[in-house]
Structure 1
Amino acid sequence: MLLDPRAPRFAAAVTTVVLAAALLGGGTPLLLVQAVVFAITAANPRLGPYGLLYRTLVAPRLAAPTELEPAAPVRFAQLVGLIFVGAALVGQLAGLPVLALVATSAALAAAFLNAAFDLCLGCVGYLALRRLVGRPLAARVPAGS
């Protein structure tokens, strides 16, 4: 499955807003919502709520993408995000505010880097792992390939 790379970047922008709001006082409810979004998107990026918003509201107003990206790195990145938000939730629920703060901040930083600079840390990690095991994967391919 290939994806328009602008969809995960849009999702990262929404995630940045959600996680910033969680840090500013939204806490557990926002982290729970974001965890569900990460879980759905890790299972299937095409079903992710933020991706659906992108395809419904934003993509029709844009030209077709010039390149596409494989879904596997995006799924891996969403799983990593889920792990960090899960750790933040554990911190919130166990009365460990430092754990909650650090885990939420790390997830926020990664989402911001993707949204602002098109640098997906989870995707980079996935591609590095693939190279390490001798099964490299192209990060992006020309559309129509």
Structure 2
Amino acid sequence: MLLDPRGPRFSAAVTALVLIVVLVTGSGWLALAQAVVFALSAFRPALSPYGLVYRVLLAPRLGRPAELEPAAPVRFAQLVGFGFAAVAAVGYLAGAPVVGAVAAGFALAAAFLNSVFGLCLGCEAFLLYRRARHRPVQSRVPNPAA
């Protein structure tokens, strides 16, 4: 399956905003909500709230992307994000705000890099793992419909 790379970048921007609010407020419940969003994005991408907003509201107004990217690295990155958001939620809700803040900070850094620079750390980790196992994945594919 191939994705429009602008969708994950949009999701990363929304995620970054949510994580900033988590860090400012120390809300474990908001961190838990973000963890649920990551889980949906990783395991049921069609149900991803941010992806749905992108597909329904933004994608129809944009032209076709010049290239597409495979879904597997993005799904892996969402799974990594889930781990950080879950740790943040548990940290805040269990009364360990430093643990929550550190985990949310790492997730924020990754979301920021993806949204602003298009650098998906989880995707890169996935591709490195595949190369190490001698099963490389092409990271970008020209869009034949563009």
For the criterion TM > 0.5, the same-fold answer is: yes
Alignment gaps of 5+ in structure 1 = none
- Aligned partner letter, 1:25: T
- Aligned mates of 1:42, 1:130 — CA distance in 2: 18
The residue aligned with 2:40 is 40
Deviation, 1:26, is: 5.5
Classify the secondary structure of the residue corresponding to 1:68. Answer: strand
Conservation of the 8 A alpha-carbon contact between 1:45 and 1:74: no
2:23 maps to 23
Shift of 1:113: 0.3
Aligned residues: 145
Structure 1 match to 2:92: 92
Root mean square deviation, CA, Å: 1.2
Q: How does 1:54-133 map to 2 (within 5 A)?
A: 54-133=54-133
Q: Following the alignment from structure 2 to structure 1, what is the Cα–Cα distance between the partners of residues 89 and 26?
A: 12
Partners in 2 of 1:69 and 1:47 — Cα distance?
19
Query: Mind listing any 5+ residue stretches in structure 2 that lack a counterpart?
Result: none
Identity %, equivalent residues: 61
| 1:33 Cα deviation after fit | 1.3
Contact kept, 8 Å, 1:44 with 1:75, in 2: the verdict is no
Instruction: Give 2:113's aligned amino acid.
Output: L
CA distance in 1, matches of 2:77, 2:24: 24
Deviation at 1:45, TM superposition (A): 2.7
Q: d(CA) in 1 for partners of 2:79 and 2:90? A: 16
The answer to whether the 8 A contact 2:28-2:91 is kept is: no
- Residue 49 of structure 2 corresponds to which residue in structure 1? 49
TM-score by length of 2: 0.95
